[in-house]
Amino acid sequence: MALPYHLLKVCGSTVFAAQGSDIHSFSSALEYISTWKYPVHIADEANVPSTEAQDSPAPEGPPAKRRKMDGGKESASNGQPKSKKAAQYIVPANERPFVQGLYATTDGCHLVAITGSDKTIWVFEHDGRGNLKLLSQRAMPKRPCSLTLTPDNHTILSADKFGDVYALPLLQSTTTTTPPTSDPIVVAPLPKSRSATPSTPAAPSTPTPLLLKPQGNELTVHTKRNLKALENQKISMDRNSKAQQDQLNGAAHDVVVFEHTLLLGHVSMLTAICIGTTSGSREYIITADRDEHIRVSRGMPQAHVIEGFCLGHEDFVSRLCVAPGGKARILISGGGDDDLFVWDWARGQLLGKAGVLEHVRRAVVAVEGEASTTKVAVSRVFGCRWEGATGVFVVVERVPALFRYELLEDNTLCHRETIPLPGNVLDVEMIEASGVAPPRLLVAVDPGASAEGLSSSSSLILLDKEEAGWRQSNVENLPAGADVNISTKELQKILYSTETLRKSSDFD
Amino acid sequence: MGGDKIKKDKRQKREDYRAAMRSQEGISELPRKKFYRQRAHANPFSDHQLIYPPHPDQMDWSSLYPDYVVDDEPQDQHTPAPETPSDQQDLAPLRPKRISKDVEVADIGCGFGGLLIALGPTMPETLILGLEIRVSVTQFVEDRIKALRAQDQDTKLYRNVGVLRANTMKFLPNFFRKGQLAKVFICFPDPHFKTRKHKQRIVSTTLNAEYAYVLRPGGVVYTITDVPDLHEWMVQHLDAHPSFERVSEAEQEADPCVAIMRTETEEGKKVERHKGQKYVALFKRLEDPAW
Ligand SMILES: C[S@@+](CC[C@H](N)C(=O)[O-])C[C@H]1O[C@@H](n2cnc3c(N)ncnc32)[C@H](O)[C@@H]1O
């Protein structure tokens, strides 16, 4: 099956577009330049030195197909490590993880990508003309859900599925060996921290003896409740030590060997992270979670101080957008609620709301003749300068339209128009044209969801605003994507994952 | 099969008992624990059917502390929501009935409520709240408070203690504003021995930031446990957090809450019976550094 383009990022004068696990680059006139392909072979170590980095464009043609080693009983009898992780390092083309996030430094010199199932952050050097050179790949302890770069472009802040935010240097220094740790508790740069990180880099041969030491014994545990917990621990330790032994015999892929610092954490899956800057040029880290919270913490090195929360959402928050153009104290958030929320984030104050569901229903009526939609999952909130004002473009999952809002001088957020499109919108970016030409929008759509199907319509559509309305043109001459063996169901699961953040109501 | 039947009968009995306890107003008979048992652990990561306000301003404290209700704008409670809510009304949701004081003391994972009941009369001017994730344990404490209040009609004791079902690891900021609390108790928390489960521990570097958020500068976190490794863990993690500073032993022993915490919680009593050790550590919330 040919895959749609599902992620867009403008980086300097280049447009990057992800399709499955590939990243294509285009000029700002949308002429195809090159493709970076997810490597089929990943070196044994999670941390690939840049000497092994692969240059782009990658050799054309589908990579040789390889069978994934069975992580189950069979491999155990072969004497192979039982760990599923170990098997993951030979990846058949159709099982390569999708690119789940694309980010660019403000100077356009680096592109950062997240791939999903392998929990990896990729940093590329961008030559300014659409060519990528892989500098590093870092497999995180938990799956990164969203990341942002500090304004100085030095640091990546990665927000993960487990609720934690890690800081990683964008560029890994080659001279110093960075102390690794698999235990997040000791990595925070807390001044009084009793134990700093271990000083030796964890080689695969460094076991973690702590895991094998029971915490408490029958003499130190007095209550039935705790005794039971201790018993359980012993049972699981017997199991664990076996697994650990297995792991030590194989490569210890779980050990994270690059510098990463735990900054803060929620006890909830993080969905979005961004940086807010106040007029005093102080930086704040703004994080959103599946449990309706938006948290405002101080920037580094005081990220352990929570300044406040923006509370009011009643369903998950999936997207955050600090308003552009001199409105940096305004935050717009969206998620599973019927409305977008407008905040003065530094004060934690709700300024207003703007309906989404009502406009989605209208758009759906226009297409289907009736409005069956009762809830929305906002999957993009994209702010930019638009016709001399602050424009906010909103994408809603599984809706074939783009919604344009405007943030007025008094910070009211107003719906301005709904732009119907031939397929569900997956992403949107603005392409600044040179000279006096007005900016254009680039939209990634899922043509699979439209009646015409993929053959007749493109997955990348340019939108030009003209007197009479929007002119839509398909981007032509897209590189032929690899034919990926993935079921429609699987693909949909990856492309439309926002709605899954909603809580089902049948838990106790 | 037989086992199932017995289980069912027991459950039915428990339910009947609890329903009876709850149907009678002003009942002064203390609830019996055996009718409120529940599975020992609730997973703090999963989505329980929890009720919590989206924002602390929307929290209705009136049913927990009815003696403290101030009845200005009594009409608020009765105005039905408008049919077509305009944006403005949406922003200012119906205000719950106000109470004259804010909760200032929280007992996190209060269990069967021994600490609340003992603390209440020692600080009658302060509102104290127990937070507990297990439903029936919370119900037990509710019924216990109700009964005690009914018993002490004249003295008006226990009017300042309340209990809520909540997952404190996720929703503390939904109930308390920044700096609202003066004391947070964490008594005999579940040890979560497994390393894999350390993020489930109620004290961790990242969660400590939330305790610092709800505590005012000068406020205190009280911890006690009988598990030496957990004690060490809590001390290490609170010590490592720049917002907290360990309280000296002299100051600790002079604090009357410490004695109560040692002897009055249900877990503390169990440890006592087993002649076990108890490890105490207090931490003061410091002012945030200049920024
Ligand atoms: C060992 S008991 C101690 C009870 C009481 N503090 C005492 O000392 O007797 C720990 C209690 O914390 C509760 N608990 C655990 N995680 C919690 C959470 N995330 N939110 C609220 N309560 C929690 C458990 O249900 C349990 O009742």
Q: Interface pTM (ipTM) of the complex?
A: 0.85
- The tokens describing A444, both together, are 């990634």
In this predicted structure, the answer to whether residue B263 has a pLDDT above a threshold of 60 is: yes
Greater model confidence, A96 or B254: B254
Q: What is the pLDDT of residues A395-416, one digit of tens each?
A: 999 999 999 999 999 999 999 9
Contact predicate A234/A257, CB 8 Å: no
Q: Which residues are A283's β-sheet partners?
A: A277
- The tokens describing A43, both together, are 């070196």
B3 inside domain:
no
B25 inside domain:
no
Please say whether the dihedral angle defined by the alpha carbons of residues A432, A434, A439 and A444, taken in this order, is positive or negative.
negative
Helix (H, G, I), strand (E, B) or coil at B192: coil
> Which chain B residues have a beta carbon less than 8 Å from that of A215?
191, 193, 227, 229-230
B17 inside domain:
no
Give the model's confidence band at A239: pLDDT under 50 very low, under 70 low, under 90 confident, else very high.
very low
**Could you give the CA distance from residue A508 to residue A475 in angstroms, rounded to a whole number?**
50
- Neighbouring C-alpha atoms within 13 Å toward the C-beta of A497: 13
Q: What is the pLDDT of residues A74-125, one digit of tens each?
A: 333 333 333 444 334 455 555 689 999 999 999 999 999 999 989 999 999 9
Q: Which residues are A55's β-sheet partners?
A: A133
Closest to B158 (Cα-Cα) out of B144, B143, B140, B145: B145
Q: Is B169 touching ligand 1 by the criterion CB < 6 Å?
A: yes
B135 by Cβ neighbours in 10 Å (0-12 / 13-18 / 19+) ranks as: middle
| Beta-carbon contacts of residue A75 (< 8 Å; ≥ 6 apart) | A69, A81, A82, A87
Mean pLDDT within B64-76:
78
Q: Which residue of B has its CA nearest to A297?
A: B209
Query: Which has the minimum average pLDDT: A66-80, A313-327, A387-401, B177-191?
Result: A66-80
The label of the residue with tokens 């001017």 reads B125
Query: Which has the minimum average pLDDT: A74-83, A466-475, A487-496, B209-218?
Result: A74-83
B31 inside domain:
no
Cis amide prior to A49 (ω within 30 degrees): no
- The tokens describing B171, both together, are 């929703």
Interface membership of A292 toward B (CB under 8 Å): yes
Q: In Å, how far are B99, B100, B261, B281 from B187, measured between CA atoms? A: 28, 28, 7, 10
> Which chain A residues have a beta carbon less than 8 Å from that of B279?
none
Q: In Å, how far are A6, A238, A385, A440 from A430, measured between CA atoms? A: 15, 56, 9, 6
Q: What is the pLDDT of residues A289-298, one digit of tens each?
A: 999 999 999 9
Decide if A215 and B54 are in contact by the 8 Å CB cutoff. Answer: no
Decide if B270 and A216 are in contact by the 8 Å CB cutoff. Answer: no
Query: Which has the minimum average pLDDT: A52-56, A335-339, B57-61?
Result: A52-56
- Number of structural domains (chain B) is 1
Q: Which ligand 1 atom is nearest residue B42's CA? A: 25
**Could you give the CA distance from residue A221 to residue A225 in angstroms, rounded to a whole number?**
9
Check residue A282 and give its pLDDT: 94
Contact predicate B260/B222, CB 8 Å: no
Q: Which residue of A has its CA nearest to B245?
A: A192
Greater model confidence, A494 or A90: A494
| Beta-carbon contacts of residue B184 (< 8 Å; ≥ 6 apart) | B105, B106, B108, B211, B214, B215, B219, B220, B221, B222
What is the domain-level CATH number for residue B250?
Answer: 3.40.50.150
Contact predicate B232/B239, CB 8 Å: no
Q: Which of B60, B102, B152, B190 is catalytic?
A: B190
Decide if B242 and A192 are in contact by the 8 Å CB cutoff. Answer: yes
Query: Which has the minimum average pLDDT: A16-20, B27-31, B161-165, B213-217?
Result: B27-31
Q: Which residues are A353's β-sheet partners?
A: A341
Q: Is B190 touching ligand 1 by the criterion CB < 6 Å?
A: yes
Q: Is B109 touching ligand 1 by the criterion CB < 6 Å?
A: yes
**Average pLDDT of chain B to the nearest whole number:** 87
List the single residue in A226, A230, A306 with the smallest CB-CB distance to B209: A306
Mean pLDDT within A207-236:
48
Mean pLDDT within B249-268:
97
Check residue A240 and give its pLDDT: 46
B19 inside domain:
no
Contact predicate A173/B221, CB 8 Å: no
Q: What percent of chain A has pLDDT over 90?
A: 58
Mean pLDDT within A163-176:
84
Label the pairing between strands B181-187 and B215-225. parallel
Give the model's confidence band at A196: pLDDT under 50 very low, under 70 low, under 90 confident, else very high.
very low
Greater model confidence, A252 or A424: A424
> Which chain B residues have a beta carbon less than 8 Å from that of A295?
173
Find the domain containing B125 and state its range.
49-67+98-285
In this predicted structure, the answer to whether residue A52 has a pLDDT above a threshold of 60 is: no
Decide if A266 and B206 are in contact by the 8 Å CB cutoff. Answer: yes
Task: Count CB-CB contacts under 10 A for residue B219.
Answer: 21
Q: Vertex B232, ends B227 and B233: CA angle to 5°?
A: 95
In this predicted structure, the answer to whether residue A480 has a pLDDT above a threshold of 80 is: no
Task: Count CB-CB contacts under 10 A for residue A310.
Answer: 25
**Average pLDDT of chain A to the nearest whole number:** 79
Q: Label residues B75-91 b or e (16+ Cβ within 10 Å = b).
A: eeeeeeeeeeeeeeeee
Closest to A31 (Cα-Cα) out of A42, A17, A41: A17
Check residue A248 and give its pLDDT: 41
| Beta-carbon contacts of residue A54 (< 8 Å; ≥ 6 apart) | A39, A134
Mean pLDDT within B139-153:
94
Q: Which residue of B has its CA nearest to A353?
A: B87
Give the model's confidence band at B22: pLDDT under 50 very low, under 70 low, under 90 confident, else very high.
confident
**Could you give the CA distance from residue B129 to residue B134 in angstroms, rounded to a whole number?**
15
Min Cα–Cα distance to chain B from A353, Å: 7
B222 inside domain:
yes
In this predicted structure, the answer to whether residue B175 has a pLDDT above a threshold of 50 is: yes
Decide if A232 and B194 are in contact by the 8 Å CB cutoff. Answer: yes
**Could you give the CA distance from residue A218 to residue B56 in angstroms, rounded to a whole number?**
43
Min Cα–Cα distance to chain B from A111, Å: 29
In this predicted structure, the answer to whether residue A251 has a pLDDT above a threshold of 70 is: no
| B263 labelled ligand-binding | no
Mean pLDDT within A48-77:
36
Label the pairing between strands B127-132 and B103-108. parallel
Q: What is the pLDDT of residues A320-357, one digit of tens each?
A: 999 997 899 999 999 999 999 999 999 999 999 999 99
Contact predicate A377/A363, CB 8 Å: no
Greater model confidence, B211 or B97: B211
Q: What separation in Å is there between the alpha carbon of B186 and the centre of ligand 1? A: 8
Give the model's confidence band at A243: pLDDT under 50 very low, under 70 low, under 90 confident, else very high.
very low
> Which chain A residues have a beta carbon less than 8 Å from that of B205?
184-185, 188, 190, 262, 265, 304
The label of the residue with tokens 């605003």 reads A465
Q: Is B110 touching ligand 1 by the criterion CB < 6 Å?
A: yes
Query: Which has the minimum average pLDDT: A424-438, A488-502, B250-264?
Result: A424-438
Decide if A193 and B195 are in contact by the 8 Å CB cutoff. Answer: no
List the single residue in A214, A220, A292 with the smallest CB-CB distance to B54: A292
B222 by Cβ neighbours in 10 Å (0-12 / 13-18 / 19+) ranks as: buried
Check residue B32 and give its pLDDT: 83
Greater model confidence, A68 or A363: A363
**Could you give the CA distance from residue A108 to residue A211 in angstroms, rounded to a whole number?**
44
B121 inside domain:
yes
Chains A & B: contacts with CB separation below 8 Å: 156
Give the model's confidence band at A439: pLDDT under 50 very low, under 70 low, under 90 confident, else very high.
confident
Give the model's confidence band at B210: pLDDT under 50 very low, under 70 low, under 90 confident, else very high.
very high
Annotation says B226 is catalytic: no
Mean pLDDT within A474-478:
88
B112 inside domain:
yes
> Which chain A residues have a beta carbon less than 8 Å from that of B49?
505, 507-508
Q: Which of the given ranges, A69-83, A475-489, B1-15, B166-180, has the highest pLDDT on average? A: B166-180
Closest to B65 (Cα-Cα) out of B163, B155, B175: B163
Helix (H, G, I), strand (E, B) or coil at B168: helix
In this predicted structure, the answer to whether residue A64 has a pLDDT above a threshold of 50 is: no
Decide if B226 and A223 are in contact by the 8 Å CB cutoff. Answer: yes
In this predicted structure, the answer to whether residue A65 has a pLDDT above a threshold of 50 is: no
**Could you give the CA distance from residue A139 to residue A312 in angstroms, rounded to a whole number?**
34
Q: What separation in Å is there between the alpha carbon of B110 and the centre of ligand 1? A: 6
- Report residue A31: phi and psi, to 5°: -90, 135
